[in-house]
Every structure is written in C-alpha cells, then in structure tokens.
Amino acid sequence: MKPLLLLCLILPLAGCASLNRLGPDEREQAAGRVYVVTGASSGFGRGVALRLAGLGARVAVAARRREGLQSVAAEMRRAGGEVLVVPTDVAHADQMQHLAQATLQRFGRIDVWVNNAGVGAIGRFEEIPLEDHARLVDVNLKGVIYGSHIALRQFRAQGQGTLVNIGSVESEVPLAYQASYAASKAAVLSLGRALNEEIRLSGQHGISVATVLPWVAATPFFSHTANYSGRAPSMIAPDDPWQVVEAIVWVSLHPREELPVGWKAWGAYAAHRVFPDLSERIAADVEHRAQMVSGPPAPSTSGNLHRPLTQAWTVEGNAQPGTAPDAGRKAAE
C-alpha cells in the first residue's frame, strides 16, 4: 500500500512536468552556438551531439575512445553539423583543459558546456572494490568540477555562457546498492546550487548553471556499469533516452537551476521533498527486489570504469553498435 499511497500524494505535484520539446525558436537559438559535450560517444551525450548537429550548432565532442567519437562525428557531419573530435578522460584536469583550448582554437568561444560523462557501480557498498569507488568519484564528481571550473572561467571572460551538468534522480533520492553513484550525483546537484548563488552574488547575469535530473533511461549505461551484485543490472520502468536528450538541449537554451525530466523524475523529486524517509525506503525496497532478488545471475565486472568499452556506441541501449535509431536520424536532419 505504501507505493500506492505515495503515488496518490505526489501525482498532483508531478503535474508540473513538461516535455521540454524543441521547436523552430530553439533551432534559431542553437544555430551557430558553440557547445562542448563530454561523454559523447554513447547514451545521452551522443544523442545531444546528434541533436545539436541537426540544429546547426558547432560541437566539440569528448570521450575516452577516439573510435566512438569518430562514429558520432560521422553522423553529425552527415546531418550538416560542424564537429571537433577531442579524445578526453574527464578525470584528468589537464585533458579537460586541452579540450577547452582545442575548442577555443577551432571555434573562438564556448557558449555551452555540457558535463555529461558518467559511470556507475552496482552492489553492496563494502563489496565494491575501493579503487572502483575512487574511479567513479574521479569521473562523476571531479570530472564535473574540472569542467565547471574551466567553463565558468571562460564564461566570466566572455561575459556569458551556460553550464549544463547531468545529475540524476539519485541526486535527490539515493538508491541502495548504488551508494557512491548516488553520492556523486548528490554532489553534482549541490555544486550547481552553490555555483548559482556565487553567480547571483557576482551580479554577472549572463552566466547560468543548470542541473538535469533524469530518471533511469534505456541507454548503454547499464551494459557499461561496474556490477558486483551477483545479478544482471536492472532498469525499473526506464524512460526513452531521447526524452532526456531533448530536455538537455532545451535547458541549454532556456536555463533553469534544476530540471527533473519526465513525470517519474518530477514525482520522485517532489515526493522526496515532502516524504524523504518514506520515499527512500520505498525506492530501496523496489531496488532490492529488482536488483538483488529477481534478476538473472551475472558475473562481477568493473565495467567501463578503468577502461573504455568498444561496444554500444549508440544512444539507445538496445541498438546495435555503429547504428543510430530513427529518433537520432530524425534529430540530425
């Protein structure tokens, strides 16, 4: 009864969720803008890069493997986009600085920086190796700090710019068996809130920081994640990743401090504000059944934490490597 009761209580609050769809006005705003997108070889980052190419933006794409970047860059060029490929491990500040310098050398400025790169680790906290926890924090938090620091310095020099950090519903509602991931995403949300206050106090109104909070989506993330749970990674009612892609591009043009994506994310976000303990217990119970009880057995793996994987250079998790779903082709038209 608890999940049903909670749902009834938060649905009115979740009604404010919007589709954040892009239209002709957004196409006009995006055309010619210079974007940096990390984690661009697959998932949300790849989708954002493709969508921006279709809107006429100029985009620097970053990820660890050059092959994955060349794959998305080829699709972007077919869509008529202008793209710069910069292989980058976001956990290294010098490589992030090189990404910014290469973008400025090619395009002359940076209008939007999207910190999208992220990794995951599933399992009981004490059973996940310490080096995996550390690497996750290096990518998910330090990488966002590096990108935010570099972007904001550039924006202050220019007098304008938009920083978009990709958080998660777990920024607000932490999940059992994803402790360090939840911690890293909560830190991303707090970072954005603090930066917005610093910008307000500085009086420099042309700079914005937005944090996007997606629900779980059907991207290759779960085929890449480290997993020590003993069972295959579970996705509970996943969203269409293109819904999140649209929201990321939309908020880059219409900045707002925090943007939960879709009614499930809005509902979880609102419920946690009203019933924090209850919503966390319900989320943990659901995750326990789905991840630790019901899933098929699976071997332990560090996933893509310490080395990039070559498969799944796609937006959607169920697509074949090297192909783009119809939504991606349409976005790039």
- Name every residue whose Cβ is closer than 8 Å to that of residue 234 and which is 6 or more positions away in sequence: 287, 290, 291, 294, 295
Distance CA 47, CA 244 (A): 9
The pLDDT of residue 27 is 79
Strands across the sheet with 258-261, in order? 82-87, 58-63, 34-38, 112-115, 161-166, 207-214, 258-261
Give the model's pLDDT for residue 145: 98
Q: How far apart are CA 116 and CA 212, in angstroms?
A: 10
Q: Which two tokens stand for residue 309?
A: 């994987």
Residues forming the active site = 181
In sequence order, the 6+-apart residues with CB closer than 8 A to the CB of 92 are: none
A 10 A CB-CB count for 207 gives 22
Q: Domain extents for the chain?
A: 2-10+20-169+177-306
pLDDT at res. 6: 45
**What kind of architecture, by CATH, is found in domain 2-10+20-169+177-306?**
3-Layer(aba) Sandwich (3.40)
Query: Mean pLDDT of successive 10-residue segments in the chain (333 residues)?
Result: 43 50 80 97 96 97 95 95 97 98 98 98 98 98 98 97 98 97 98 97 95 96 94 92 97 97 94 94 94 94 89 67 37 40
pLDDT in the model for residue 175: 95
So what's the pLDDT on residue 318? 47
Question: CA–CA separation, 171 vs 178, rounded Å?
Answer: 12
Please report the pLDDT score of residue 297 as a whole number: 95
For residue 179, what is the enclosing H or E element? helix 179-202
pLDDT at 193: 98
pLDDT of residue 311: 63
pLDDT at 313: 79
